[in-house]
Amino acid sequence: MNAFMADVGRYKREVPRRHRSVTALVMRRAGLQVLGVYRFGQWLRRSRHPLLRAGLMPLRWIVYAPLRQVLGRAYGISLADSAEIGPGLYIGHGGGIDLRHCSLGAHCSIAQQTRIGPLPGAIAGPRIGNRVWIGAHAHVLGSIVVADGATIAAGAHVARDVPPRALVAGNPARVVRWGYDNTVILGDERQDNAPLGMVNVSDYEPGLG
Amino acid sequence: MIEVWPALGTDIAFRHRLLYPHGSGPWGWVRASVLSKGMLVLAVHRVIWAARVAKVEGRAIGRPLGWLAAVGRLVALVVAKAYLANSMRIAPGVWLPDGGHVVLGALEIGPETVIEPRVTIGMDAVEGGRPRIGRGVWIGSDSLVYGAISIGDGATILPGSVVTRHVPPGAMVSGNPPMRLDTHFDNAALRATLARRRSATRDQLPGLIEDARQ
């Protein structure tokens, strides 16, 4: 639940104050709906008490699995159980998002057409640190490490380790800038619930976006 | 509502011209006007635009059109995974073959432009600017066009390109970062060939481009 509230905090930043209730945000943002279902699935997986587990198993197959399928198909956002996602993920737009066998740290951002997972035929996927911004159409594939504070530019195809606070771009991705500060595009934990002003109000409102 | 139908009719006429460059019988017109994902996305955009115009002009139809636009947005999102910016203007006579997974946030998209699936145009939250797409542009699948740039008339963007700089009219660019492969490339043949397929993959393209050059 805490992880999900951190996700909601990420989305609060770009909407006017009157739309900032959790219900309004979940109704408006497809990414938040999918994240909510994903967090619910992780909670079901993580609960350890045997009696609780016995009670939760039916929930998993009756509630969680169909919801995941339906929402994943509707919005084109697939967050697999094998992806470990830290609190405070932001999904810009949906469509073509595929996260499998990977781990993401806290306060990351992804966008449409992002693929994060193992290379075809392999099992080990990337390990991504905290505060990593991943742009649209980026592919992060293979058993690699993306360090804290890195920025993966839109359209980058990353197949090698990314050092901390580096900006990588291109195909194959190369470091374009060292010591790049991604706070402007990623936002700050302290600003998540702050008044509007940093990011423009979404042009894709009203409706789901 | 008035603005929606002529624009959609122009889209259908453009699709027909792509499919049948030498004209066709009535069956060709039926085929060109069959509802597809691309047509749905264009129709939703036309409704969004009509609602916007009506609201600016203060007409009463603006409110129901706005509701219709909100429903249309949801349908376009679920059916075609398409996101459409409010303030974008797509000129009449544009075609989106397949039309799935597009995120369109340009300032303006010119007529006779073809946009293939899985294309993202504009990331103004990040780059602080939106592109302006000219007339007769072909944007290949999986491409990304962003920043305050302009794509010149008749430009060709090959699949999988990431374009962040201005593209002069008639140029052909490809790659990530993009390279200019040609300065004067006529994409009419390419667009027409591809219009008859669902979409072209990367390995099919070199042959098609060679054909178009001859």
- Domain CATH number, residue A100: 2.160.10.10
Per the prediction, chain A carries an average pLDDT of: 87
| Structure-derived torsion over alpha carbons of residues B41, B199, A141, B143, reported in degrees to the nearest 10 | -60
Q: What is the DSSP string of A58-103?
A: HHIIIIIHHHHHHHHHHHTEEE-TT-EE-S--EE-S-SSEEE-S-E
CB pairs under 8 A between A and B: 90
Q: Are B169 and B152 in contact (CB under 8 A)?
A: yes
Separation between Cα atoms, residue B208 and residue B190, nearest integer Å: 7
CB-CB neighbors (< 8 A) of B73 in chain A? 206-208
CB-CB neighbors (< 8 A) of B78 in chain A? 74-75
Whether A159 and chain B come into contact, CB under 8 Å, resolves to no
Q: What is the pLDDT of residues B95-144, one digit of tens each?
A: 998 878 999 989 999 999 999 999 999 876 666 689 999 999 999 989 99
CB-CB neighbors (< 8 A) of A74 in chain B? 77-78
pLDDT at residue A192 tops 70: no
Whether B176 and chain A come into contact, CB under 8 Å, resolves to yes
pLDDT at residue B201 tops 60: no
What CA–CA distances, in Å, run from B21 to A37, A207, B28, B112? Answer: 49, 39, 11, 14
User: Is A42 a member of any domain?
Assistant: yes
**Least reliable range by pLDDT among A53-67, A109-123, A140-154, B117-131:** B117-131
Q: Between chains, do A203 and B124 touch, taking CB under 8 Å as contact? A: yes
User: Is A199 a member of any domain?
Assistant: no
Whether B105 and chain A come into contact, CB under 8 Å, resolves to yes
pLDDT band at A152 (very low <50, low <70, confident <90, very high): very high
Q: What is the pLDDT of residues B11-50, one digit of tens each?
A: 999 999 988 888 888 999 998 888 899 999 999 999 999 9
Query: What does the pLDDT average to over B186-213?
Result: 69
Question: What's residue B191's pLDDT?
Answer: 79
User: Is A93 a member of any domain?
Assistant: yes
CB-nearest to A208 from B77, B86, B101 is B77
Higher pLDDT pick, B21 / A138: A138
User: Is A201 a member of any domain?
Assistant: no
pLDDT at residue A206 tops 90: no
Q: What is the pLDDT of residues B50-83, one digit of tens each?
A: 999 998 999 999 899 999 999 999 999 999 999 9
pLDDT band at A207 (very low <50, low <70, confident <90, very high): very low
Question: What's residue B197's pLDDT?
Answer: 62
What CA–CA distances, in Å, run from B4 to B50, B52, B89? Answer: 7, 12, 13
Helices marked H in chain A:
2-12, 22-28, 30-46, 50-59, 65-75, 183-186
Q: Closest-CA residue in chain B for A71?
A: B78
Higher pLDDT pick, A15 / B40: B40
Report the percentage of chain A scoring pLDDT > 90.
62
User: Is A60 a member of any domain?
Assistant: yes
Q: What is the pLDDT of residues B153-190, one digit of tens each?
A: 999 999 999 999 999 999 999 998 899 988 888 888 77
Question: What's residue A67's pLDDT?
Answer: 95
Domain that holds residue A158: 2-188
Tally of domains within chain A: 1
User: Is A195 a member of any domain?
Assistant: no
What's the distance, Cα to Cα, between the start and end of chain B in Å?
A: 44
Separation between Cα atoms, residue B167 and residue A121, nearest integer Å: 39
Question: What's residue B161's pLDDT?
Answer: 94
3 state SS of B23: coil
User: Is A44 a member of any domain?
Assistant: yes
User: Is A25 a member of any domain?
Assistant: yes
Question: What's residue A196's pLDDT?
Answer: 45
**Beta-sheet strands, E only, within chain B:** 83-84, 89-90, 103-104, 108-109, 114-115, 120-121, 132-133, 138-139, 144-145, 150-151, 156-157, 162-163, 172-174, 179-182
Question: What's residue B170's pLDDT?
Answer: 93
Q: Closest-CA residue in chain A for B118?
A: A113
pLDDT band at B2 (very low <50, low <70, confident <90, very high): low
